[in-house]
Structure 1
Amino acid sequence: MKEQKRKLLPTMVLAGVISLTAITSACGNNNNAPDNANASKEPSNTASAENTNAGSEAKDVKYDPPITVTYLRPWGPDVKFKSGEDQDNNVHTKWALDKFGIQLKNQWIAPSTNNAFETKLRLSLATNEKMPDIISYRGDFTLVRELIDSGRFVDAGELFDKYASQVWKDAMNEDPTVWYPYMEDGKRIGIPILDYAYNGDPVMWIREDWMQKLGLSAPKTLDDLEKVMDAFTNQDPDGNGKKDTYGLAIGFKNWINTWMSDAGWIFGAYGTMPNQWNKTADGKLEYGSVTEGSKKALATLQSWMSKGYLPTEAGLYDETKAAEDFTAGKAGIVVGPHWMPAWPLEDVKKNNKDAQYKAYPLPAGPDGKVGRHGTSNSNGVVLINAEMKHPEAFFAYQNYLFEQYANPQVGGEFENGLAEGYDWVTVDGQVKTDAASTGGYAPEKYTLTFDGARIPSLNMQVLSKLANGEEATTPFEKKLKMSTPQPMLEAAKIVQEQKDSVLPQMFTGAPTKTMQTSNDILGKMEKDTFSQIIYGKAPVDSFDKFVEKWKSSGGDKITQEVNEWYQSVSGGTK
């Protein structure tokens, strides 16, 4: 599946859009990794070296004399340094030098804002400038494909198999599909940067004070939900004597299936997910927007719009604007991630100090189906230069973070955080990790992979455990308990309980040949048809003509190409 200068189809970026320090700034991991390598030892400088002791060998490396590892990564405005420190000289670079004899050095520095990093990197590629040893990146997948297509980066999958520790491999194996976007002819060119699983998966948030006032029960099905929305629309739940409230806050300016205030779960109740490629029972991929389930979901949305349960401005609302109707007290329901109490739901109390909200499971459709979009286990990629002299150095560094930082043990180096005086301090004999005490420094943001190291399943599992009232025993659990409010814990538990309802985006490759020529036309056709049906300007049966035209205008060919891609990557991942 070779194509010149291919561009990767953007996937849903939910957790990349929102970063919640209170939830996701985890501490380290378990096993102590010795750093007593023989000073005279010269680690291999190629992927085919005779060193076969895999992760343990990379873990034990300490370079004497020290080596320099050059790298590039965008630096966001949220990265804060102490006076006298910067991207090349800080508490983390000093740690890497002391621990491994590795001097981390930015080849150049550019901010993540206004595409400054992307512009400079593309210029470096175009002028054939020397690439750094490592590129760590989250953002424009088109740029990732340009880097992969340049041929200047090694088969990182081979290096990973050789040098990654078992802790890191186990974390990666929680979802092997994270490799798919970075594969080329069966080779895994980029190493996915792991993130917390389910972090953007939605639950249903409902005004609990309205529920209690109107004597309503928890909605378990779409029919139940319709009764709740009807009451919120027609029974004056805010008690102001005006008909100025409605049921569900949604916005589809950016599309139906988005990271917050979306309607994808309505389609999920009919067994599909729009605007993405879903896996069928026979193991093939189909485009969710052209299925019979989408037609049924559109009929439901049309009915709800005609009854006043949805905002008339839904087509103009983006995700944030739609959620503002909930916080303003206009809407009684909004759907979004478990972390919404951190932002923006608490704003509802600015308008009404007595307002209450609560997380509920997503409702089932007529056939008992529940469906929601998923969150990828990865949020970025690491590319390793084919000319890097010591590629095992990156694995020595990252193995240690996975083993010691991702889920630290009591008494371990990172039990309280990454660096004392930065993300944790001792005040009157007590360890403090809150921003007011620490000054808001977050040294995990100085790391090559932006967050240190994350085990995808760990965060949500711990939140669910805490929601059940179980004792927090590990450093990771204790930190989450201190930083996570109860509504968030309860929502996380619901996310875990409904995890089997996830309909993940299955196509994460570069746009196929036909996509490159037809996607814009097909996308406009889809948006126009869906909007016309939802607003009642076209009958539901017009969906059938849309499907026919979609297929004949390139959709059938794209479906073939997508399935060819899927077979190539699903058969090639180890």
Structure 2
Amino acid sequence: MTHATWNKSWIAGLLVLMMLVITACSGNGNTENAAQGNGKNNGNQAETPTEPAEVPEPFGMYKEPVELKIGKSTIAEPKFPEGETWADNEYYRHLQKTLNISVKHAWEADGSSSAYKDKVNLSIASNDLPDAFSLVNRDQLAELVKNDMIEDLTEVYEKYVSPEYKAVIDSTNGQAIAEVTVDGKMFAIPTAREVTPNLVWVRQDWLDTLKLQAPKSVDDVLAVAKAFKAADLDKTGKAVGLTGVEKFVSDGNEMHGYELLFNAYELYPMQWTKGQDGTIAYGGIQPGVKDVLAKLAQAFKDGLIDREFATKDAGKANEVLTSGQGGIAVLPWWAPGWPLQDSVKNSGGKAVWKAYPIIGANGKYNGEQNGILNSMYVVRKGYEHPEALVKLVNWEFKLKQRGYPELNELMDNGIYKEIKRRGTPFEVNAARMDEIQFLAGVIQQGVKGEITKEEAAKLHPEAWDKVERIQKYRANPDPMADTALWADDTQWTIGAPALVAAEQNVHFNVFTGITKGMENKKSILDDLLIQSYLKIIYGEESVDYFDTFVEQWKSQGGDEITKEVQEQVAK
């Protein structure tokens, strides 16, 4: 149901309620009307009229101002117009005007560093909480619930969440709600984010020249890397096979990382997994990892992997592609924006890039993501209007969906062109799990002329702007006149569609918090994993060294942490 339709239904309901009230008021004076407080009191107590109970409305405006003190995450050197601040700007005034919610700041802390996390922890430790604030991790949520410091939001969420925001949360099939639920109670308003595993991006012009098929498996990727290195089609004299970076495995999706190669075998080296029996295990010590490391070690020995990958960050790895030394890499769907448009520009338009999912032994496109939530918002215990947080989240999401033209114009071309939505109380970033895939589909319909601008706007507020940019790119006889437009076309008509080219099987990290044992040992164990894997890949140790690593990992704190994670997940 759309917001407009919902409002019409609510208004109709309200009119019915008002007529009932009027009818009751005009009836017999001895008839009680509890809703209006008009019942006769036989005692000496004076009659006390009461206001009718509020009808829950996602965007309902309070009759009296409601103050909401928040903990605000900021950034250094915000670009506000002169005279405006984090706590005094058009966003806050619009909230007051449309919802009658007066947002104040209990405190502010830099969200780009550890300062915000530290401030939240301090507020929890001192039991001095703002009315509402965002949490950094689930550990903070667990601590707040354990000490009965925050409100159960189950009922107010169900009553006040907007249909549009509920659709986003529901797209996670219950995962987002589960992340903020303890003992059947929902203690935070979750966000959700799009799920977009990495892809293998390949120089299609090189594939065509060498008459090679597009890669579908890990073995195919290595075969293409071998062919590209041997051919050195751009005659650089420094040809590279598959790119890589020093952080070649992580708990998410690194640019140029090798997670996707492990994922193909349903392995997740730096994530926690959960078996069917509920047993928690660490992905990096599973037996199958040994086989993938053996494959990578052989590829490195054969020169199919950049021999300097362990010394490079993403920027340096990008240079392999933009200089024409390499033509195959593991990158996100949006890679045409960076770095691939530089590759196209530097090649004079000769480079043609296409994206492909890697299909695992299970016949699926396996990927990983560190978590489903972007953030979560809580209300301190005892705050009189917990529903105000839900209304605020509704308002912020509507703004993100371009539902307030006057504010959206300020962000597009006006005084908030630099600060954007950072100036709102929480900058709620929520998206459907399939947001990118869905948007790409709408864009393609628009480009093909299958839907109008108005129809596209109803499906997604950002679609038509991208349609027009792609049409502008394709209408120009010089395709390299604006490589930024090339990037728009390629990421939305090649990159994003590749995400749905095969059935996805995405693994979500079972535990993203910090246990007591992790505080002192996680970084040591992470380094042990990376260095042990590298020794095997580099050939400094045989693949059997993996067994030694596993024993070291377990004895140096891994077993202790696994037990702690098991206990946390079981709560």
TM-score (norm 2): 0.77
Asked if 1 retains the 8 angstrom alpha-carbon contact of 2:190 and 2:375, the reply is yes
Asked if 2 retains the 8 angstrom alpha-carbon contact of 1:372 and 1:503, the reply is yes
> Structure 2: any 5+ residue segments left out of the alignment?
18-34, 37-50, 471-487
Q: Distance in 2 between matches of 1:382 and 1:87?
A: 19
From 245, 249, 256, give the equivalent of 2:243: 249
Q: Distance in 1 between matches of 2:348 and 2:53?
A: 61
Question: Deviation string for 1:263-306 (max 9, x for gaps)?
Answer: 01111122211111234455644322122321111111111111
C-alpha change, 1:502 and 1:101, in structure 2 (3 Å) is: same
Counting matched residue pairs gives 506
C-alpha change, 1:548 and 1:127, in structure 2 (3 Å) is: closer
Q: Which residue of 2 aligns with 1:10?
A: none
- Percent sequence identity over aligned pairs: 26
C-alpha change, 1:198 and 1:550, in structure 2 (3 Å) is: same
Look up the SS of the partner of 1:103 in the other structure: strand
Deviation at 1:439, TM superposition (A): 7.1
From 492, 503, 508, give the equivalent of 2:496: 492
C-alpha change, 1:79 and 1:457, in structure 2 (3 Å) is: farther
Question: Deviation string for 1:473-523 (max 9, x for gaps)?
Answer: 232232443467121112111113345232221223442x55556545543
Q: Which residue of 2 aligns with 1:223?
A: 219
Q: In terms of Rg, which structure is larger?
A: 2
Q: Which residue of 2 aligns with 1:286?
A: 281
Q: Which residue of 1 aligns with 2:343?
A: 348
Letter in 1 for 2:538: Y
Deviation at 1:363, TM superposition (A): 2.6
1:305-320 correspondence to structure 2 within 5 Å: 305-320=300-315
Deviation at 1:419, TM superposition (A): 1.6
Q: Distance in 2 between matches of 1:121 and 1:205?
A: 41
Q: Distance in 2 between matches of 1:85 and 1:521?
A: 45
Asked if 2 retains the 8 angstrom alpha-carbon contact of 1:33 and 1:60, the reply is no
CA-based RMSD of the aligned residues comes to: 3.7
C-alpha change, 1:118 and 1:566, in structure 2 (3 Å) is: closer
C-alpha change, 1:364 and 1:390, in structure 2 (3 Å) is: closer
Q: Which residue of 2 aligns with 1:136?
A: 134
Q: Which residue of 2 aligns with 1:153?
A: 150
Deviation at 1:405, TM superposition (A): 4.7
Asked if 1 retains the 8 angstrom alpha-carbon contact of 2:168 and 2:430, the reply is no
Greater length-normalized contact order (CA 8 Å, ≥ 6 residues apart):
1
Q: Distance in 2 between matches of 1:420 and 1:531?
A: 49
> Structure 1: any 5+ residue segments left out of the alignment?
1-27, 43-50, 426-436, 569-574
Deviation at 1:107, TM superposition (A): 2.4
Asked if 2 retains the 8 angstrom alpha-carbon contact of 1:251 and 1:262, the reply is yes
C-alpha change, 1:102 and 1:422, in structure 2 (3 Å) is: same
Q: Which residue of 1 aligns with 2:87?
A: 88
Letter in 2 for 1:102: I
Look up the SS of the partner of 1:259 in the other structure: coil
C-alpha change, 1:134 and 1:439, in structure 2 (3 Å) is: closer
Asked if 2 retains the 8 angstrom alpha-carbon contact of 1:250 and 1:314, the reply is yes
Q: Which residue of 2 aligns with 1:210?
A: 206
Q: Distance in 2 between matches of 1:167 and 1:522?
A: 42
Q: Which residue of 2 aligns with 1:378?
A: 373
Structure with greater proportional helix content: 2
Q: Which residue of 2 aligns with 1:450?
A: 427
Q: Distance in 2 between matches of 1:29 and 1:79?
A: 33
Asked if 2 retains the 8 angstrom alpha-carbon contact of 1:118 and 1:143, the reply is no
Deviation at 1:208, TM superposition (A): 2.8
Question: Deviation string for 1:87-109 (max 9, x for gaps)?
Answer: 22222212111111111222233
Look up the SS of the partner of 2:309 in the other structure: coil
1:49-128 correspondence to structure 2 within 5 Å: 57-59=56-58, 61-77=60-76, 80-125=79-124
Deviation at 1:537, TM superposition (A): 0.9
Look up the SS of the partner of 1:331 in the other structure: coil
C-alpha change, 1:103 and 1:355, in structure 2 (3 Å) is: farther
C-alpha change, 1:290 and 1:351, in structure 2 (3 Å) is: same
TM-score (norm 1): 0.76
Asked if 2 retains the 8 angstrom alpha-carbon contact of 1:406 and 1:454, the reply is no
Asked if 2 retains the 8 angstrom alpha-carbon contact of 1:194 and 1:377, the reply is yes
Letter in 1 for 2:189: I
C-alpha change, 1:33 and 1:136, in structure 2 (3 Å) is: farther
Q: Distance in 1 between matches of 2:388 and 2:376?
A: 17
Deviation at 1:62, TM superposition (A): 2.0
C-alpha change, 1:212 and 1:52, in structure 2 (3 Å) is: farther
